[in-house]
């Protein structure tokens, strides 16, 4: 739960206006963008 609190706190402070959570974690480098279903687990 601690990791989730830290992540949500970052999202609240650093997100761009109107930015969705999924877009934020990609932009922040927390997760890689999935551009094709075949590379989902890469």
DSSP string, 11-30: HHHHPPTT--HHHHHHHTTS
Write out pLDDT tens, residues 1-42.
999 999 999 999 999 999 999 999 999 999 998 888 787 777
- Cβ-proximal residues to 19 (8 Å cutoff; 6+ apart), any chain: 27
Whole-structure pTM value = 0.79
Task: Give the pLDDT score at 35.
Answer: 84
Task: Give the pLDDT score at 36.
Answer: 81
Report the C-alpha gap between 31 and 34 in whole angstroms: 9
Task: Give the pLDDT score at 26.
Answer: 96
Instruction: Yes or no: say if 41 and 18 are a contact pair by the CB < 8 Å rule.
Output: no
């Amino acid at each position: 739960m601690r990791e989730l609190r830290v992540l949500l706190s970052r999202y609240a402070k650093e997100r761009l206006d109107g930015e969705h959570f999924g877009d934020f974690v990609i932009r922040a480098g927390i997760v890689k963008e999935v551009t094709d279903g075949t590379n989902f687990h890469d």
